[in-house]
Structure 1
Amino acid sequence: MLNHSLHKPPAKPFLTAGAKAAQLSPTFIFSGQNFFPAGKKRVLRRQHGWASVKAMASPTAVTTGNTTSVKAVVTVLQPVGGVLSHLGLSRGLDDIADLLGKTLRIELVAAELEPKSGQEKPSITSYAHKSYLPSQTPSGLIKHRAKELTILRGDGQGERKTFERIYDYDVYNDLGDPDADDDLARPVLGGPDHPYPRRGRTGRPRTKQDPLSESKSPTSSVYVPRDEAFSEIKQEQYSAKTMYSVLHMLIPSVKTSIVDSTRGFPHFTAIDTLYNEGVLLPDIPSTGLGSMLPRVVRFIEDTKDTVLQFETPELIDRDKFAWFRDAEFARQTLAGQNPLCIKLVTEWPLKSELDPKIYGPAESAITKELVENVIGGHMTVDEAFKQKKLFILDYHDIFLPYVNKVRELKGTTFYGSRTLFFLMPGGVLRPVAIELVRPPVDGKPQWKEVYQPSWNPTGIWLWRLAKAHVLAHDSAFHQLCNHWLRTHCCSEPYVIATNRQLSAMHPIYRLLHPHLRYTMEINSMSRDSLISANGFIEGAYSTSKYSAELSSHLYDKLWQFDVESLPADLINRGMAVEDPTAPHGLKLTIEDYPYANDGLLLYDAIKEWVTDYVTHYYPEANLVQSDSELQSWWTEIRTLGHTDKKDEPWWPQLKSPQDLIGILTSIIWVVSGHHAAVNFAQFDFGGYFPNRPTITRTPMPTEDPSEEEKKKFLERPEAFLLDCLPSQMQAMNVLAVLDVVSAHSPDEEYLGEKIEPFWAEDKVIAAAFTRFNGRMKEIEGIIDGRNADTSLMNRTGAGVVPYTLLKPFSEPGVTLKGVPNSVSI
């Protein structure tokens, strides 16, 4: 069975004790009175010692019908939160309390144990530890293998119960809450109007106001199959305590401590008080919040006050003014929290592909003359284009259709934008121009303007404001596309299909299992509190109530499985070209590209491990083609999990071991390296919000300004910028959430760190994993060496935050490093 305490849960329970074993009721609860049948001899062996107390019970049930005999290993564990912590039916059979209130781990096994060693005796039932392709399944297990998958798929009917292990698909129809307020209604994501991946089905009742939407859960938890639930350590670190405390206790207290929720910071030094003095929280409830959020909440013994005080983000701890510099603005496109959007300019002049009848003239206002005003001392635009020296952050076409929608909302504004960079001789980027665009609206024609670095006072403040808008665009794209959509949302179908179509005995199930850990649970929490109507994202980002809908737009226009691998993504963005003579088979367009350089080390190591694993089980193509479970798995991912894109021509075929290696390597890369790169830098780069504002609240002072706005900008440009940036309440909410999601849990499992028990059973696989583990340790040293190389100016230098995000291993907490196996936070 599963253990949600100190040990890692094994793969799906698969009983091999006989045909009746799978019929145990999931609602049967053991107690001190009924664990052993009355009147029967009890066989009990105990070994004393912490975490090694074991017992073997051999009961014979007294019933009038069929009987089932099982053997069990019982491990007594102390709950993380103390005696009786987290005890309840929501655990099903996973956590059980004995008469003393201790937590018991019940693990059904299929073989006798040696009295001295505690190890299983060799027996025919030990085949449960081996991996089998469907065609190789022992005859005694064929029926049970199929039956297990049938049970896991369910029948698609009714509301799911917390103790169930049923995996099914549904659309994202639970982000709104129309029964609470009409303004909280949100469109269903998934279908022709709003294409989207599918989520795990919960079967909750529909809302009264909208028969297409699913109602909110009456409790704080949303159903996920119990195999996907957080361990107790994870509960303590993230869900039940930490994030719940932030969203339901800390943020409400912040609101009560701020008189005007729209008020910005009066001056930049006021922002510093969030880190060096803190903010008094007078109405915080006395529930031990400080122990749950030790990095955020301080208790002052003398005054008995509770203070909200954040750790200083690494960026400004090293260089307080780094965020102000153009060089750092450019460097972070290669080595910041969103290094996946910079791309090579492949067409000149720049031009939109949107309909000019709706969005206005397609030609960009960034002209050859404007660019050469900045780079003229180095080369012409034509030379820069031919030599691949021009790069761009392009949020023009993808955001422009939502600009007018967002601008109808209070407290936010939006543009389409283009930001052009020039690659200097030293290998660093220099920002050249920013173009902001508003489409036609209310009889007004399209508005667009270009801003550039300037030496005059007005020009430099306009440039700083334009950078703030671009950074807000980059923050929104990072969160909605590169983070939520590509790693969380698009990966959930992999979890569901793997459990529905691949038996727990299948070698590919066992390869993928560590990489699917906690993803459904974290996604269910995100749907409930983070991307939901009036949730964290809507309150903190420029896109507001259109955030989730915009992520559907991004999925429709941008997501393709065949470019999710790191090499394909780099090639697609023009950041690399294939070169068999170069390391990793790629020549980078920008040689000092920290995310790409470190990422390719990880990607190649993953591919080598996957290759060793796959070729061991599939030495010939016909084994891939004839594997019914594997073919059903890949078909279901395409046709059910990503059904809105099922007919796209770019889906890879699955006919050979090489096809399978490519598919699996892409999946594992996205949930490990890709996710680590976009998640664990959020606090240290975004925790000082002028560096990464999530929202801009006012338009540029050159776009239809009033006389009052003109005067304010000219007389107090600093105040104008602060009013544009997030409000005090928005900033504190963002910091609190980023502090939680940027942290590693104590029970985190890192890429290549620990061998799975099933892998260890096979000498060939065990040897391959040993090589993989060794390569991870080598990569740690390689990255340290790169960060010590002063010639690599995009990752080192005075006050520069080294690029450590793809170092495989980490300690718990906010560390700016560590690559977990899965999307686990």
Structure 2
Amino acid sequence: MAVYKITVATGSDLAAGTFNNIFIILVGEHGESEKHQIARHWSHFLPGSVTEFDINVEKDLGELLLVQLNMECYLNFFLDDWFCQYVNVTSPSGQLYQFPFYQWISKPGSVEVPEGKGVIITGSTSPILLRQRKAELEMNRETYKWKVYAEGVPRCIDIEDDGVFKLPPNDQYSLLKEMSFGYNLLSIGFGTMLKGFMFNKDSWHNLEDIKLLSTLRQSQKSGLVSEIWKEDSFFGSQYLNGVNPSLIKKCFKIPENFSVVDEMVASSLGPSTNLETELQNGHIFLADYKILENIPTNTINGKQQYIAAPMCLLWKNPQDQLVPIAIQLSQTPGEHTPVFLPSDSEFDWLLAKIWVRNSEFQVHQIDSHLLRTHLLAEVFSTATTRQLPMGHPLYKLIIPHFRYTLEINVLGRKQLLAPSGHFEKAWVFGDGGIPLLLKRAMEGVTFHNLCLPDNIVSRGMESIPNYLYRDDGMKIWLAVESFVSNIVNYYYYSDVMVKEDPELQAWVAEIFKEGFLQNCSSEVPSSLESIASLIKYLTMVIFTCSAQHAAVNSGQFDMYSWMPNGPTTMKSPPPTAKGATMEAILKTLPDVNTTALGLIFMWTVSNDPLDTRHLGNYPNKYFTEKTPQQAIKEFQDKLTEISKHIKERNKTMDLPYAYLDPSVIENSVSL
């Protein structure tokens, strides 16, 4: 008779415990045990509990490969979900076997949990493990199915947009996060309703009145933004360290459809240089919003809304400031398309910059934020669950970076993107324009512009000073790359192993098919041929889901809560001649209630609810081997050093940049 010592841990979430009967079967290379019920005790399956017990087996089972967990109703109680963190088993010889799980069991029947060592399928893989992995993936593919959200846009999970509670339990918010998220939303919404802003469909009477709304909630930065938003240096700095820091690019030749000439910008550049010289010196930069041209716009409060597709020319001046020197609000030059300049009247120049900020807001929200982080993260998450079993080392590596992504995306499609959603009520693009803009944006997504080092080089942004997104982002990219390299090199001994890993190749192929729609021009790989290519691919996935999302999400309230710095919509057409007044500006800006809806959105998405896990924080111990655990520790140490450096630097700055501080970056797209 052999005695096995068992430890079973229940999760700490408030709803993690269960009243059900739980049974266990040990599966080894020499056979399996009988089905043993875990003895019932009032404390055994409470949240955070750890239960220890022994089971007797007729013979030694050899190396343990799996444990089977079975859940059945207790008496006439309803079947309730149970979150199992892990099962540990000590064999009669004293060897410890670990079975990390960290999932909900929500249905009666058997769930098989493989032993914790990461396993890549080879010719010598146990038939028992092969059967378990095949069964796991077949079940996952039945649960996680793809559907078309919009033509030319990455596929999404096949869940009704009003059905977050139809998501598998492992992808739903915890009770704590659900309550915290709801509180953040209601607290700001109730305040705006009390003040009457939500029911006021009038135009703003003056800029000072907007402050009455923006001061209902303030961050450390938002109040300062409302004071300096008119300054050209701040306008330019947002292209480097705002919430959309990947749009601007170096300009070596003025586009043919941009009617700016040297004489126009001479007063901005000064007498010692000219436009051609500054172009050759690499000091001229371009922000081009052609993607917005001819996108259908929304109607809000019974009023037609408007959009521009501007081009903005910027100059790095001798003080190393990036400042705008020319703005054209249309892609079509001509008599009715003036080029606005800093030398124009105060209101002409201010209105032109507001139009650019409105365009910037749209491209940021739909392309940089929604498409390149949220929708791609959903693709990565769904493909991972469908193609990588929990025993695969790459599953263990990347699964923390998809935590809660499916729930926030399903919520977003319901509350923001649906015909009656938030965007329809407050954004220039409603249900008709957003899919078209997403499709256009998707045409510009490439593997290289998803990889930060390549992105920076392709835009000519390697050397421009004060580009903190680049500086902080590269530190994080390299830290992630080093971490990934340590994990990959531990499990893959050669390029051949990468090429011959069927689960890995199926995962990459599915992402290419469902996420990038088999677009070969995107240069996104459909297969991987080497360890180096695998490391780069995984680094891109983790960076996209963590640091890149933080860069484009966390500062939204800071930058946009002062509405004129990022209007959600415009209710007058772009000017076709100069001669603007403050009255014209106020008639162009969003109505009072539209501004209030925008403020609610900014506050909600910029304030993390409770139950967050910051970059490198992996409380779920999926890896059981010492080498991967050491790699995690080294990764955490590097992130701590990066965070320390950023905090020290920010102490000396009037407008600190903290969005890529690892201590505030979340592991996943969960908000």
TM over 0.5: yes
Report the counterpart of residue 150 of structure 1 in structure 2.
138
CA offsets, 1:446-473, max 9 Å, x none? 841111112x6xx221111111111000
Alignment partner for residue 224 of structure 1, among 167, 170, 176? Answer: 167
Larger RCO (CA under 8 A, 6+ residues apart): 2
Q: How far off its partner does 1:630 sit? A: 0.5
Describe the shift of the 1:430–1:647 C-alpha distance in structure 2 as closer, same or farther (beyond 3 A): closer
* SS of the residue 2:337 aligns to: strand
Larger % of strand: which?
2
Residue 59 of structure 1 and its aligned partner are, at CA, apart by 13
Give the one of 365, 378, 383 matched to 2:277.
383
For residue 324 of structure 1, give the secondary structure of its aligned residue in structure 2: coil
Deviation per residue, 1:151-174 (Å, 9 max, x gap): 1111xxxxxxxxxxx1111101xx
Q: Distance in 1 between matches of 2:629 and 2:209?
A: 56
SS of residue paired to 1:477: helix
Aligned to 1:728: 592
3-state SS in 1 of match to 2:590: coil
- Contact 1:336–1:681 (Cα < 8 Å) also in 2: yes
Shift of the alpha carbon at 1:110? 6.5
For 1:689, the aligned partner's letter is M
Question: Which structure 2 residues correspond to residues 252-331 of structure 1 after superposition, within 5 A?
Answer: 253=193, 260-261=200-201, 263-275=202-214, 310-318=216-224, 320-331=226-237
Q: Residue by residue, what CA displacement relative to the aligned partner does 1:522-566 show, whole Å, maximum 9, x if unpaired?
A: 100000111221311232222334442233233343111232011
Q: Evaluate the alpha carbon distance shift between residue 343 and residue 124 of structure 1 in structure 2; reply closer, same or farther with a 3 A threshold.
A: closer
Larger mean CA deviation between 660-669 and 376-385 belongs to: 376-385
Aligned to 1:207: none
State the partner residue of 1:297. none
Q: 1:613 to 1:755 in 2, by over 3 A?
A: farther
Partner residue, 2:330:
437
1:342 is matched with 248
* Cα displacement string for residues 209-253 of structure 1 (whole angstroms, at most 9, x for unaligned residues): xxxxxxx64xx6363232211111111122x5544x489x75995
Q: Please state how far the C-alpha of 1:109 moved relative to its aligned partner.
A: 3.5
Q: Deviations over 1:591-615 (max 9, x none)?
A: 3201101111101100000011101
Q: Secondary structure at the match of 2:538?
A: helix
1:643-792 to structure 2, matched below 5 A, reads 643=517, 645=519, 648-651=522-525, 653-703=527-577, 717-754=581-618, 756-759=620-623, 761-789=624-652
CA contact (8 A) 1:42 1:57 kept: no
**Residues 697 and 724, structure 1, Cα contact 8 Å, conserved in 2:** yes
1:767/1:260 Cα in 2 relative to 1: closer, same or farther (>3 Å)? closer
Letter in structure 2 aligned against 1:231: S
- 1:406/1:414 contact within 8 Å kept: no
Q: 1:688 to 1:125 in 2, by over 3 A?
A: closer
Whether the 8 Å CA contact 1:468–1:696 is kept in 2: the answer is no
Q: Does 1:453 align with 2:342?
A: yes
Which residue type is aligned with residue 488 of structure 1?
A: H
What is the CA-CA distance between 1:753 and the residue it aligns to? 2.7
Structure 1 partner of 2:383: 497
Is the contact between residue 94 and residue 106 of structure 1 (CA under 8 Å) also seen in structure 2? Answer: no
- 1:5 corresponds in structure 2 to 13
Aligned to 1:365: 259
Q: Does residue 608 of the first structure (1) align with residue 482 of the second (2)?
A: yes
Shift of 1:327: 1.2
The alpha-carbon deviation at position 16 of structure 1 amounts to: 7.0
Segments of structure 2 that go 5 or more residues without pairing to the other structure are 1-8, 29-35, 58-65, 101-113
Distance 2:297 2:332 in 1: 7
Tell me the equivalent position of 1:122: 96
User: Structure 2: which amino acid aligns with 1:383?
Assistant: T
**What residue identity is the alignment partner of 1:167?**
Y
Distance 1:267 1:15, change over 3 A: farther
Q: Kindly tell me: are residues 254 and 413 of structure 1, through their superposed partners in 2, closer, same or farther at Cα, counting changes over 3 Å?
A: farther
Within a 5 Å distance, the mapping from 1:44-63 to structure 2 comes to: 44=41, 51-52=48-49, 54=51
User: Percent sequence identity over matched residues?
Assistant: 26
* 1:626 equivalent in alignment to 2:500: yes
Which of 153, 161, 167 is equivalent to 2:144? 167
Separation (CA, whole Å) in 2 of partners of 1:171 and 1:3: 35
In structure 1, C-alpha distance between the alignment counterparts of 2:444 and 2:239, rounded to whole Å: 19
8 Å contact 2:214–2:561 — kept in the other structure? Answer: no
**1:547 and 1:676, CA in 2 relative to 1: closer, same or farther beyond 3 A?**
farther
The structural deviation recorded for 1:780 is 1.0
- Per the TM alignment, residue 122 of structure 1 is displaced from its structure 2 partner at its CA by 2.9
Distance 1:493 1:49 in 2: 34
2:337 paired with 1:398: no
Q: Which moved more, 1:717-726 or 1:664-673?
A: 717-726
Q: How many residues align?
A: 625
SS, match of residue 333 in structure 1: helix
C-alpha offsets along residues 41-88 of structure 1, whole Å, 9 cap, x if unaligned? 95659689994464659899xxxxxxx9966899xxxxxxxxxxxxx9
Q: Tell me what 2:303 maps to.
A: 410
Counterpart of 2:667 in 1: which secondary structure?
coil
Report the Cα distance in structure 1 between the residues aligned to 2:524 and 2:41, rounded to whole angstroms: 59
Aligned residue type for 1:146: K
**Which whole-Å deviations, capped at 9, do the CAs of 1:579-600 have from their partners, x for residues lacking one?**
xxxxxxxxx2303201101111
Residue 390 (structure 1) shift: 0.3
1:398 partner SS = helix
Paired residues of 1:149 and 1:501 also in contact (CA < 8 A): yes
User: Displacement of 1:700 after TM fit?
Assistant: 4.0
> Take 1:594 and 1:542, find their aligned partners in 2: how far apart are those partners?
30
Q: Report how far residue 134 of structure 1 moved.
A: 1.4
Conserved? CA contact 1:222–1:525, under 8 Å: no
Q: Which amino acid letter does the alignment assign opposite residue 5 of structure 1?
A: D
Q: Secondary structure at the match of 2:353?
A: helix
TM-score, length-normalised on structure 1? 0.69
SS of 1:132's partner is coil
> What amino acid sits opposite 1:17 in the alignment?
L
Unaligned stretches of 5+ in structure 1? Answer: 20-35, 61-67, 75-87, 96-104, 115-119, 155-165, 173-188, 205-215, 277-309, 352-362, 576-587, 790-795, 810-817
